């Protein structure tokens, strides 16, 4: 006898909310699954026991292999923690102002998506306060799809909603960028909590505390995540970091030395492309910062 299959929407302590063909049910991890997959996350496809136990709570009997996994670094900086599974698109959300955008941070989040082989796009929100055209041009030139939005007038929301349909997408980005506000604007009837921007530090106040997956009217899912205060890259082989930059990709392999790190080596095709203005020097700078970080960080086995 086989049980229900479903998708994890949210976790509340030890209890998971799971969407099944029979509706949303509550479930907890059973012993063996708990040992094999201690961190069941939003987006995980799970198999439930055929019958609910006491209090209408099902047991999670198995977790399907994940197609993709988005991870973040643990606050201690060592090791990673899964955030969401089976995501097929990442939207990096940044405000155009309040809080001030940090292009380098957006680059980092884009690299995390690329490293997980998940296509990524950029959302520049709060265009009612600042049009964000310069920033939009920076990311378009790098090869990313860019959405400019505001929840105040609703400009840009429809274009984003159309792209989200029938996909499993996640929004990520700094606290206060307006991720939850965007989701509320995209999905009528949704009432995710949104927070103020601290006057004192000019940053968001970490209003969203855990990932939650929202079924979209018309098909697809959208995952809201807490804003990151610190984002590291990890599990990326420094030798393949260049491939995580779509604007560098066409030049990878064109350097004089096969093991070129694109720092100051002679005959570097990527440095030359930056000198010609084909690649933004600012983006190359992001690459070099991340490379230094990756090469400096202790490996798992050290
Ligand atoms: N002017 C303006 N303010 C916005 C816009 N979108 C969101 N805000 C405001 O920005 C603040 C932060 O919005 P949230 O949606 O809570 O931001 P968040 O990215 O979910 O933040 P965390 O949950 O902390 O990661 C709130 O006060 C929103 O009202 C917008 O398009 N324009
Ligand atoms: Mg939020
Ligand atoms: Zn090179």
Q: Could you report the per-residue pLDDT of 280-293, keeping only the tens digit for each?
A: 999 999 999 999 98
Residue with tokens 């988005």: 70
CB of 195 within 6 A of ligand 1: the answer is yes
Q: Are 125 and 178 in contact (CB under 8 A)?
A: yes
Q: Which residues pair with 213 in a beta bridge?
A: 223
CB of 64 within 6 A of ligand 1: the answer is no
Phi, psi of 62 (to 5 degrees): -170, 155
Q: What is the pLDDT of residue 39?
A: 87
Q: Which atom of ligand 1 is nearest to the CA of 181?
A: 15
CB of 204 within 6 A of ligand 1: the answer is yes
Low-confidence ranges of the chain (pLDDT < 50): 301-302
Residue with tokens 């697809």: 220
Q: What is the pLDDT of residue 95?
A: 98
SS3 content of the chain, % helix, strand, coil (to 5): 25, 25, 50
Ligand 2 centroid – CA 92 distance (Å): 13
Ligand 2 centroid – CA 195 distance (Å): 7
Q: Could you report the per-residue pLDDT of 95-124, keeping only the tens digit for each?
A: 999 999 999 999 999 998 998 889 999 999
Ligand 1 centroid – CA 129 distance (Å): 12
Q: Which atom of ligand 1 is nearest to the CA of 226?
A: 25
Q: What is the pTM assigned to this prediction?
A: 0.93
Q: What is the pLDDT of residue 2?
A: 66
Q: What is the pLDDT of residue 302?
A: 44
């Amino acid at each position: 006898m086989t049980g229900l299959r479903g998708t994890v929407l949210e976790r509340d302590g030890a209890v998971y909310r799971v969407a099944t063909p029979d509706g949303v049910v509550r479930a907890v991890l059973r012993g063996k699954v708990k040992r094999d997959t201690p961190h069941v996350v939003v987006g995980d496809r799970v198999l439930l026991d055929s019958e609910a136990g006491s209090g209408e709570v099902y047991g999670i009997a198995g977790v399907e292999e994940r197609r993709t996994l988005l991870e973040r670094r643990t606050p201690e900086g060592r090791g990673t923690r899964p955030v969401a599974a089976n995501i097929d698109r990442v939207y990096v959300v940044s405000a155009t102002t309040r809080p001030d955008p940090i292009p380098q941070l957006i680059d980092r989040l884009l690299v995390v998506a690329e490293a997980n082989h998940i296509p990524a796009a950029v959302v520049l929100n709060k265009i009612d306060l600042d049009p964000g055209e310069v920033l939009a041009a920076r990311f378009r030139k790098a090869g990313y799809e860019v959405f400019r939005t505001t929840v105040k007038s609703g400009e840009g929301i429809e274009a984003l909603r159309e792209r989200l349909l029938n996909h499993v997408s996640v929004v990520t980005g700094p606290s206060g960028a307006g991720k939850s506000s965007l989701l509320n604007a995209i999905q009528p009837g949704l009432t995710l909590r949104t927070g103020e921007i601290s006057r004192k530090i000019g940053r968001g106040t970490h209003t969203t505390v855990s990932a939650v997956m929202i079924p979209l009217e018309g098909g697809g899912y959208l995952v809201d995540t807490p804003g990151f205060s610190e984002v590291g890259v990890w599990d990326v082989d420094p030798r393949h970091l260049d491939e995580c930059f779509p604007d560098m990709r066409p030049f990878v392999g064109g350097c004089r030395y096969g093991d070129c790190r694109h720092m100051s080596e002679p005959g570097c095709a990527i440095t030359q492309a930056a000198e010609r203005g084909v690649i933004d020097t600012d983006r190359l700078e992001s690459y070099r910062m991340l490379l230094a970080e990756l090469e400096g960080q202790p490996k798992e086995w050290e």
